[in-house]
Amino acid sequence: MSECPVCLVYDRIAVAAALLEDLAPEAIRAGQVPAGLGGTIPLARQRLLEADEVIHRLQGSIGWELTYLGACVGQTIDALGVTLTPPGVSMVAAMARDCRRQAHEFAWAFWRAGS
C-alpha cells in the first residue's frame, strides 16, 4: 500500500472516473462502446476495487466515517459489472465523478485535520 493511503484512494477513484468520462462521449457518438475501448470498463472497475480495498482498511484504522464514499464506490463497481449501453456508460461515469468528488473532499478534510 502507498505511504499515503488517503492519496491512493483518491488516485484510484480519479483514474477510474477519468477513464469512464473519456469513454462516455465516444460510446454515445458510436452508438456502442467503440471496438478497442471495451477494456476501459474492466480497467476502471479494477481501479475502483483497489480503492474499495483501501477504504475498508482505512475505515478500521483511522476512525473516520467513510460509509458514503464506500457506498458510492461499491455502487459504481456493481454498475460496472454488467454490459453497458452508451447511456449506461454516461450514467456510470457520472457515478464515478461523484465518487471522485467525495474522495477529494475526504482527502482535503483528512489533511486539514492534521491526520
Going along the chain from its start, the domains and CATH numbers come out as: 5-112 (1.20.120)
Residues 6 or more apart whose Cβ sits within 8 Å of residue 13:
47, 48, 51, 73, 96, 99, 100, 103
Read off the pLDDT of residues 25-68 as tens digits, 9 standing for 90 and up.
Answer: 999 999 999 888 889 999 999 999 999 999 998 887 776 778 89
Read off the pLDDT of residues 67-103 as tens digits, 9 standing for 90 and up.
Answer: 899 999 999 999 999 988 999 999 999 999 999 999 9
pLDDT of residue 60: 75
